[in-house]
Amino acid sequence: MVTISAALVKQLRDKTAAGMMDCKAALSECDGDLEKAVDCLRKKGLATAQKRAGRETSEGIVYSYIHMGGKIGVMVEMNCESDFVAKTDDFKEFAKNIAMHIAASNPSGIVEEDVREDVIEREKGIYREQAQELGKPENMIDKIVAGKLKKFFKDSCLMNQPYVRDPNITIEDVLNEVIAKLGENIKIRQFARFQIGD
């Protein structure tokens, strides 16, 4: 049995923002291995998030963020189950971090279904032209276009994007961690990003 020090528990808590008891349990389960404990907590957070996914989210906030001396602005609607959670610092901090991420990464939508059809068609046209210019055989072009479109969705949909503050995790991972921490279903409902000159 590995002895779990308070310092190690604190280190895991700082890394994950999970509760002290959850951190201690994860470290015990993973024989004191910090990285395995992080993965363990993230999996539990995902399970918690999936359990809460169907619950109604009719409370929340609209958060606004202005960047680069007024050159970029973001408004994001963040929903949760209760007014109590909507008023917590953790919820507001999450909304702020998502708004800052949107300012930096300029996503096309929250999920694939949010990306406008004209944007998708334009991307497909560009990928098809690129493949033709490279002399790829016609029967391979559709597969190449599909592969590049999949990468486009990974790069341009908010939930799939690597989090700007920690590129090892996606926005979906961050959302699941916040759901696990706050104990309520949380949704990023919609956002608008404005940039001078766009």
Residue 63 neighbours by CB under 8 Å, 6+ apart? 75, 76, 78, 92, 95, 96, 98, 99
Strand (E) or helix (H) holding 170: strand 166-170
pLDDT in tens, 136-160: 888 898 899 999 999 999 888 999 9
DSSP label at residue 55: S
Q: What is the pLDDT of residue 16?
A: 67
- In Å, how far are 81, 109, 132, 140 from 189, measured between CA atoms? 13, 11, 39, 38
CA–CA dist 154, 95 (Å, integer): 21
Write out residues in the chain with pLDDT < 50, as ranges. none
pLDDT in tens, 160-183: 999 999 988 999 989 988 888 888
Closest CA to 60 of 45, 77, 73, 48: 77
Say how far residue 44 (Cα) sits from the centre of its chain: 17
Q: Report the DSSP pairing between strands 72-80 and 166-170.
A: unpaired
Going along the chain from its start, the domains and CATH numbers come out as: 6-52 (1.10.8.10), 59-110+157-195 (3.30.479.20), 116-155 (1.10.286)
pTM across the whole model: 0.67
Q: What is the pLDDT of residue 88?
A: 94
Residue 161, CB-side half-sphere exposure with 13 Å CA sphere: 20
